[in-house]
Structures are given as structure tokens and as C-alpha cells.
Amino acid sequence: MSKKILITGASSGFGRGAAIELARRGHEVVATAEAWPLVRSLRADAAAAGVELEVIKLNLLDETDIEHAGTLDPDVLVLNAGVMESGSVVDIPLQRVRESFEINVFGHIALAQKIVPKMVARRSGKVVWTSSMGGILVIPFVGVYCATKHAVEGIAGSMRAELAPHGVKVATVNPGVFGTGFNDTGAESHVQWYDPEKAVVPIPDFSDSLADQYDPQEMIDAMVEIIPAEDHLYRTMRPLATIDTAKHWQESEWTQNA
């Protein structure tokens, strides 16, 4: 059955791939992009793919944009937009920390608070949060990003319990290290402020960890399956190999020393 689906952060990566494929499968998709040039670019991508896709501007730091998107009434709300900032926790500027939480967490809560009440009123709907493997484990030097995704895990888990009695489902998708370009830009995001002469904790070379990223199609395919589905697991993590890594991390937290 066709669903109305709103996806944030759809100008690139998982959001773009999922939005276009869901539209191809006959769903009514509203895809958001952060800035007007990205809106127009995504519209062009959809036209080139031969699909109908409504694209709107949504900068999660812009209250007017959130108000506008909040007037929509989708069957499924996919909270996918995000930023990654690199740097040690003791060095990264607080402005970058605050902005990461504003986009990855607070802006999405604000949007959910406008849309989810409509789902509760009709006793149907679903919210899908794009979390991360970094919402389960911790990756040094992207600790702020991991912190936002740990927050997402707490919020999504609470929402799941709170909304289930009202007919609204909540789920997460948890990507590992996929080659969408997101990890690459995150790894170099510190260059505007980082000074190796003044840093308390020097930032290492990330190139080895970025060398063998997975094909993002695996995550996109999983998202396309679970977003409109009536029944599926609460958490969808890809690549599959990452699941064991995440479970091992959770176990190790009970046994490792400080």
C-alpha cells in the first residue's frame, strides 16, 4: 500500500537514495534539503530518475523551515538529516558541539513535536530515526557525533514506549561506515579551527579508516524495505558484520577498566 513519507536530509547519501527509490515504488515522498540549491539539485535528480518527488527546503536550524515542514501529515516521518564534526572532546569548539545537537537532535525533536500529534490523533503512523553504529559504540575523535546519536537512541527508545499504546511505531536505522561522503566530510570538518600547536589531544590521520568504506546501497535497500513496512525489527543495522561489533562493544563496557 502506498504511504506518504517525509524524509529529512534527502539531498545526498542514504536520504537521497531512499527517497528516489521509495518514489519509484509508488510512495508519495516529500524529501527535504538544507538549502535552495540542494532543493533544485534533488528535483533534477528525481526528474533524471523518472520519479515524482516533492522537494522542500528544511534547514533544521531555521524555525520557519521547521514550521513549514510541520504542517505536513505523513504516514511515516524519517528523521535522517545529520552532521558530523571531528575533534577531541576537550578541543572541539562548543559552538560546533551545540550545532551538532541542534541539527541531529533538537531540530528533529521540534519537527516530531509538530507531526507526531497528528499520528496519535488518528492512531497510526511511524517515526524512523537515522541513528548510527556510533549510537551504540564510541569512535574516538568523533565523540560529539556519537553523543548526538546516543541521544537519538535514548529519545527513540523512549518514544517507542510512549507512542506504542497510541498506535504509532518508532524504529531506528543504524548505518556503519558507508561511502556516502558523509564520513569523509566529517573527518575533515575540524580544519577550520584545529591548530596542532595548541591542541590538547592531537587529531590522528583518518585516511586508513576511510579507505575501505561499504557500498551505501546495502543501507539504502534496507531503509527502502523497512520505512513503509508494517512489521519489522526496531533496529536495522547495516552492514550485517557491524551488528556483532556493536554487540561486542556493549558487552565489553561491563568488563573493561576505566
Catalytic residues: 145
Q: How many residues does the chain have?
A: 258
187 contacts: CB under 8 Å, gap ≥ 6: 86, 142, 206, 210
Query: How many CB atoms are closer than 10 A to CB 189?
Result: 20
52 contacts: CB under 8 Å, gap ≥ 6: 23, 46
Compute φ and ψ for 30, nearest 5 degrees: -105, 115
Category of 157 on φ-ψ map: left (φ > 0), alpha (ψ -120 to 50) or beta: alpha
Cell of 25: 515504488
Relative orientation angle of helices 217-226 and 13-24, to the nearest 10 degrees: 50
Query: How many CB atoms are closer than 10 A to CB 74?
Result: 21
Q: List, edge to edge, every strand of the sheet that includes 4-7.
A: 54-57, 28-33, 4-7, 76-79, 125-130, 168-175, 235-238
